Structure 1
Amino acid sequence: MNDLDTLVAAAVADFAAAPTPAELENAKSRFLGKAGRVTELLKGLASATPEEKKTRGAEINQTKQRIEAALTARRQALADAELAAQLKAEALDVTLPGRQRGTGGLHPVSRAQERIEAIFGSMGFDVAEGPEIETDWMSFTALNNPENHPARSMQDTFYVDMQDEGGRWYNLRPHTSPMQVRYARAHAAKYAGQSPMPEIRVIAPGRTYRVDSDATHSPMFHQCEGLWMGENVSFKDLKVVFTAFCRQFFESDDLQLRFRPSFFPFTEPSAEIDIAFASGPLKGKWLEVGGSGQVHPNVVRNYGLDPERHIGFAFGMGMDRLAMLRYGVNDLRLFFENDLRFLRQFN
């Protein structure tokens, strides 16, 4: 091995022994710097003959290139080692599921309400909204409920610490019927003196409150009531409208409806509405889904209308119960426990 091969071997050994890029640069300066060993060899050619300069200079340049190649290789090795250490420290377990931003969805009762509004909207019904804290007159008196009606008692109705001018307590509305009253009175005032007056077609969906709680009842629940008033509206129209609604809501033309005679103080005659499915787990079973009837003359007067000229029907149904039947849910409380495992099924 000549002196130049020994120099290359020394450089390769020094470069390999450098553990960091900074120490590698120090090793580089010992061989390739201004005062490095290769530079000193080139300076020594000053006293050589032209022939020696040509031969010896070529050998020194080849040595320099070999040292530079060894330096580059060591630089790359140190960079690779640093990257490997960084990747190890910041390693990701790609077998784990990715962390995604959660997306919300509509509550099943909200889905049912949107569906109800869309179906009745296609039949020309408006959607009414109103306060959830109501007066005793709006909740009971306007609807032909007598003073001693049990729904006024603390066992059925939530009252709030507010009184109207007559000294009666305000209450959390036990049904959405007050919205019908408010809408009809505003309609009658708007079209007062106009003959014939435009018909009233409205549904009133929303939250309602009663002192009741079990697998099929909740202290807060959702109800939708409807009203159609005009000068030539009959019970037949009620049957046609509600039958069409149920068949669209449940997407079944084989659905059967039964209007069973009943009593409500705000309608006369009155009927409970039962449905029976032609297939599925509830096949052949009659299930009550709502109440209905021709609006009582006293209630028509409280609307601000003449019962001798204006006639119509009203109906009411529990949106929670309709959602239970549509989605096959057997416990109402599941809707309000906020268990995401249950709610995700609907989105």
Structure 2
Amino acid sequence: MSAPNSSYDPVEVTPLHPDEVARMRDEALAAIAAADSLDALKEARIAHAGDRSPLALANREIGALPPAARADAGKRVGGARREVSEALKARQATLEEERDARVLVEETVDVTLPWNRVPRGARHPLTTVAERMADIFVGMGFEVAEGPEVEAEWFNFDALNFLPDHPARTMQDTFFVESASGAESGLVLRTHTSPVQVRALLERELPLYVVAPGKTFRTDELDATHTPVFHQLEGLVVDEGITMAHLRGAIDAFVAGMFGEGLRTRFRASYFPFTEPSAEVDMECFVCRGASVGNPDAPCRTCSSEGWIEIGGCGVVNPRVLVAAGVDTDRYSGWAFGLGVERTLMFAHGVKDMHDMVEGDVRFTSAFGMEI
């Protein structure tokens, strides 16, 4: 910038010429008016009102004018810059109002819609039913026992009187676990929760009253009535003077607590390696209570008009099982039972297909809610 010069004519300085100042002002006002967004207005502000804008550069030339010429040039340039500044403020306010109005339309909230958009959760009914079954026995004085799902063959078979050539040991029924080298590991995915009974005998003091709910595994194909992963609840009592009559009483109490009062039960002779004598347990159909038997006019889908429903197996603990766990069979005796959780759920709630229990469809589980 040059120093003041008394012979300097401001009219001859192009940026300070009235026509040039008016042109720069008009260009700035046109750019501001054409800005259709706040971003575009920001660009117009930098171009026409920033430190390097034409009017800002012209304002710097005023200092080089003689004192007599500065006032007139200052008024001319200052007036133009003031008009540009006011135009920017007005356009800023207009664009902000348009933005706010647009946001109110685009982001409007319908307060009449449901406020809770997160669907309500539900426990899986198998969990609920298993806990309810266990609670019935806990109410009778039993304790809950647990064990590993990957089990040693000795606990799963040998200690329960399964002979080495028993069919349950074959690959048709059992998942065997290989070691890292591919050799036999002596481990299986437990085929029942009975190994927990053996562990309880080894770990706890007698007398013993336990129930063992848990997951079991067998090489079954998934269909309407079978699944390779299913749940059982087994019970074990070992005490002095224990008889089948005590077992019958416990089963009757369970049926009354789970399905309702007044239902009869019956035992049918059967065979299990770990109990002797053994029996299958049936209960009276809780839907027809036997009224459908021989009555074609009133068929019952629950019991197929047989009047009875099989719910599990039971029996007096085989002395060989007690001996394997170090129990004095001259002093102690006991009984055990096994109940299917899936089977109980199907009977209690009318579930017809195992697929519904394992496929994870929330429409199935949500019907049972969050009962605890």
TM-score using structure 2 length: 0.66
Select the residue among 224, 231, 247 that pairs with 2:256. 247
Q: 1:224 aligns with which of 225, 233, 254?
A: 233
- Give 1:159's match in structure 2, choosing from 176, 180, 199: 176
Mapping of 1:55-66 within 5 angstroms? none
**C-alpha RMSD of matched pairs (Å):** 3.0
Unpaired segments ≥5 residues, structure 1: 1-19, 21-75, 192-197
The separation in 1 between residues aligned to 2:154 and 2:99, in whole angstroms, is 80
Q: For residues 85 and 240 of structure 1, what CA distance do their matches in structure 2 show?
A: 75
Matched to 2:234, the amino acid is: E
- Equivalent residue number for residue 134 of structure 2: 117
Equivalent residues, number = 268
Contact 1:226 1:316 in 2 (8 A): yes
CA distance, structure 2, for counterparts of residue 203 and residue 162 of structure 1: 31
Residues in 1 aligned to 2:110 and 2:168: alpha-carbon distance in whole angstroms: 62
Q: Retained in 2: the 8 A contact 1:109–1:323?
A: yes
When residues 84 and 168 of structure 1 are mapped into structure 2, their CA distance, relative to the original with a 3 A threshold, is closer
CA distance in 2, matches of 1:162, 1:81: 72
Which amino acid in structure 2 is aligned with residue 262 of structure 1? Answer: S
After superposition, residues 185-204 of structure 1 pair within 5 angstroms as 185-187=202-204, 191=205, 198-204=206-212
Say if 2:273 is the partner of 1:265: yes
- Aligned residue runs from structure 1 range 33-72, under 5 A: none
What is the aligned partner in structure 1 of residue 143 from structure 2?
Answer: 126
| Deviation string, structure 1 residues 62-110 (Cα, Å, up to 9, x no partner) | xxxxxxxxxxxxxx99998765433112123556554523443211000
Counterparts of 1:244 and 1:96, CA distance in 2 = 49
Give the one of 293, 297, 308 matched to 2:319: 297
> Among residues 341, 344, 352, which one is paired with 1:319 in the alignment?
341
Rounded to whole Å, the distance in 1 between the matches of 2:356 and 2:286 is 26
One-letter code of the match for 1:236? A
Give 1:342's aligned residue. Answer: 364
Secondary structure of the corresponding residue to residue 344 of structure 1: helix
- Cα separation, 2, equivalents of 1:278 and 1:103: 32
User: Does the 8 Å CA contact 1:136/1:168 hold for their aligned counterparts?
Assistant: no
Cα separation, partners in 2 of 1:202 and 1:77, compared to 1, 3 Å? same
C-alpha displacement of 1:285: 3.0
Moved more, 132-141 or 280-289: 280-289
SS at match of 2:213: strand
Q: What SS does structure 1 have at the residue aligned with 2:188?
A: strand
- Partner in structure 1 of residue 186 of structure 2: 169
Assess if the C-alpha contact under 8 Å between 2:280 and 2:314 holds in 1. Answer: yes
The Cα shift of 1:200 comes to 0.4
Equivalent residue for 1:104?
Answer: 121
Is the contact made by 1:173 and 1:209 (CA closer than 8 Å) also made in structure 2?
A: yes
The TM-score normalised by the length of structure 1 is 0.70
Change beyond 3 A, Cα 1:278–1:344: closer
Structure 1 contact 135–170 (Cα < 8 Å) conserved: yes
Q: Secondary structure at the match of 1:279?
A: coil
2:178–2:184 Cα contact (<8 Å) kept? no
Hey, what's the Cα distance between the residues in 2 that align with 1:316 and 1:99?
Answer: 43
CA distance in 1: counterparts of 2:227 and 2:111, whole angstroms = 46
Q: Distance in 2 between matches of 1:77 and 1:167?
A: 81
Secondary structure of the corresponding residue to residue 323 of structure 2:
helix
**Secondary structure at the counterpart of residue 325 of structure 1:** helix
Residue 161 of structure 1 deviates from its aligned partner by: 0.5
Contact 1:254–1:277 (Cα < 8 Å) also in 2? no
1:232-280 deviations in whole A, cap 9, x for unaligned?
A: 1110000001110111012x11322111111111111110001122435
> 2:44 maps to which residue?
none
* Residues 108 and 343 in structure 1, CA contact (< 8 A), matched pair in contact too: yes
1:253, 1:99 → 2: CA distance? 41
Measured after TM superposition, the shift of residue 169 of structure 1 is: 2.7
Query: What is the rounded CA distance, in whole Å, between the counterparts of 2:123 and 2:337 in structure 1?
Result: 26
Q: Contact 2:178/2:185 (CA < 8 Å) preserved in 1?
A: no
Which of 277, 282, 285 does residue 285 from structure 2 map onto?
A: 277
TM-superposed CA distance for 1:181, in Å, is 0.1
**Cα offsets for 1:116-140 (capped at 9, x unmatched):** 1211111111111111111111111
- Paired with 1:78 and 1:332, the residues of 2 have a C-alpha distance of 63
* Mapped contact 2:134–2:233 kept (Cα < 8 A): no
